Structure 1
Amino acid sequence: MLKTGLLEQMISEVLLMQMARDKQIDVREQLKISIDNIKKANNLESDEDLKLALARDGQNYEAWVKAFSENLMRQAVIYSEVDRQIVIDDAESMAYYKAHLDQFTDPPEYKLRAIVLPLEDADEAGLEAQRKDISDKLRGGADFNALAGEYNQGGLKDSQGSLGSVKKAELDPALAQAADALKAGDVSAWLKGKNAWYLLKLEERTDSRVKPYSEAKKDAENKLYTEKKIKAVDKFFNELKAKNYIKIVRPDPLGN
Structure 2
Amino acid sequence: IISAPGTPPAPSTDNDTTYCEGETIADLLATGTSGDLNWYSDAGLTTNIGSGGTLTPSGSTGTNTYYVTETIGGCEGPSSAVEITINPMPNVNAGSDLVACEGDSLTLSGTGAVTYSWTGGIIDGATFLASSIGTTTYILVGTDANGCKDSDTLDITVNELPTIASETPVDESACGLSDGSITIAVSGGTGSYTYSIDGGATFVANGGTFTGLPTGNYSVYVNDGSCTVMGSNLVISGPPPPPAPTGSPDGVYCDGDAIADIT
TM-score (norm 2): 0.19
Larger RCO (alpha carbons 8 Å, 6+ apart): 1
Larger Rg: 2
Bigger share in strand: 2
Structure number having the greater helix percentage? 1
